[in-house]
Amino acid sequence: MTQHEQLYQEAAQFIVTCYEELGKSADQAAQRLAQIKENIHETGTYSHTSEELEHGAKMAWRNSNRCIGRLFWNSLHVFDARALTQEAEMAQAIIDHIQYATNNGKIRPSITIFRPAEQGQEVRIWNNQLVRFAGYRTEHGVVGDPISLEFTSVCENLGWKGAGTDYDVLPLVISMGQESPKWFSIPENVVLRVPIEHPEYEWFEDLNLQWYAVPFVSDMCMEIGGIRYTAAPFNGWYMETEIGARNFADEQRYNMLPKVAERMNLNMSTNTSLWKDKALVELNIAVLHSYKKAGVSIVDHHTAADQFQRFEQAEEAKGRELTGDWTWLIPPVSPATTHIFHSHYNNALVKPNYLKQDVPYEAIGLEKVDEKSGDGGLIPMKCPVHH
């Protein structure tokens, strides 16, 4: 099968399903496929209509095996930014996306889609997430988020300089084709931060914890009908365990469990005291309490699992086979209390979907970011929003 034939086959699979779901006739689908075949023959590719792009992005979320938040797939807001050709224009579109999605805390699931990859010319966002805290190596240990150490070095090599705090927001880094990457600061007033406190422990505020309101996944490739969109940042909202059980709790991240346990006067000399478990629960209680107090959308892992069960039922009613990655769907806190733990899922890849792609700065000898490190994307998902 030639490359053109393969592209047409993938386009046909997408168009038939997409048009059926949009209530279009078989004749309309056939006419569109004839047009696509002609476009591929003449140019080697084809372009999605705005309607196809929007529904394809929603289908990609619905097919995301690692996402526990897929019940809301049809609410995704799509920004079509394919016409933009300059890095500065892309940066502004991303900032507009951040502001729209944040919505003063009433988070709106959104995606901004930039032009697709063609003839090796890829548009890339180098950030793992649009908003993420920097990490610095110092003589006293790591300051900030350890997961960001390598990318922070990339940004510094490009000319960016942070303040050196635990919560410096990294800049956007964007590249087009073979051009050198360019960086753009994210205005502080567009990043909503949530200070973390506890409903019972007043001392919790002394830990000076904070996190950003919205997870924006920006390093995945969205593929629709054989067309690859290598820059398509998206967001949902957080599931509390992503922050409380991973970003704050993991030893290789902010590693807050010992500090919380110490302030709780727990017995840390033996594992049998379950001090880690006790501290972990209180850390997650603090995250939920703080986000709700700040008016920022968030979901607990029990509610998220209930929502996923409703998604399973809805897909069954539509006659669609459910796919899922059990290892990512189970929450990192008390997984056996959810139905997901006791279920089995087919982890087959169904397209459209969001796919992993190479880390752009690997070419300069830096390590990959660990994908299972906390934040996800179309949250609560462990993908577009756990880990």
Interacting residues of 326 by C-beta distance below 8 A, sequence separation 6+: 340, 343, 344, 345, 347
- The predicted pLDDT at position 118 comes to 86
Catalytic residues: 67, 70, 237, 242
Residue 71 clears pLDDT 50, i.e. is over it: yes
- The predicted pLDDT at position 286 comes to 98
Structure-model confidence comparison of residues 370 and 27, the more confident one: 27
Interacting residues of 302 by C-beta distance below 8 A, sequence separation 6+: 337, 338
For range 56-82, the mean pLDDT:
98
- The predicted pLDDT at position 381 comes to 35
Whether residue 146 is preceded by a cis peptide bond, meaning omega within 30 degrees of 0, is no
Strand-pairing partners, residue 355, are: 221
Indicate the range of 62-71, 128-137, 149-158, 378-387 predicted with least confidence. Answer: 378-387
Indicate the range of 10-24, 92-106, 296-310, 364-378 predicted with least confidence. Answer: 364-378
Among candidates 208, 214, 203, which has minimal Cα distance to 248?
A: 208
Cβ contact 46:227 at 8 Å: yes
Q: Is 384 exposed, middle or buried (0-12, 13-18, 19+ CB in 10 A)?
A: buried
Average pLDDT value for the chain: 94
- The predicted pLDDT at position 362 comes to 76
Q: List the structure tokens of 384.
A: 């577009």
Residue 280 clears pLDDT 50, i.e. is over it: yes
Cβ contact 385:215 at 8 Å: yes
For range 84-91, the mean pLDDT:
97
Name the band, by pLDDT with cuts 50, 70 and 90, for residue 121.
confident
User: Does the pTM exceed 0.75?
Assistant: yes
Residue 164 clears pLDDT 90, i.e. is over it: yes
pLDDT in tens, 210-259: 999 999 999 999 999 999 999 999 999 999 999 999 999 999 999 999 99
Residue 385 clears pLDDT 80, i.e. is over it: no
In Å, what is the CA distance from 83 to each residue of 65, 90, 354? 30, 10, 21
- The predicted pLDDT at position 363 comes to 57
Residue 147 clears pLDDT 80, i.e. is over it: yes
- The predicted pLDDT at position 368 comes to 42
- The predicted pLDDT at position 364 comes to 54
Q: Is 83 exposed, middle or buried (0-12, 13-18, 19+ CB in 10 A)?
A: exposed
For range 258-285, the mean pLDDT:
98
- The predicted pLDDT at position 214 comes to 98
pLDDT in tens, 325-383: 999 999 999 999 999 999 999 999 999 999 999 999 875 544 444 444 455 433 333 33
Tokens 């180098």: give the residue.
126
The CATH class that applies to domain 47-364 reads: alpha beta
For range 158-175, the mean pLDDT:
98
Show me where the domains of the chain are located: 47-364
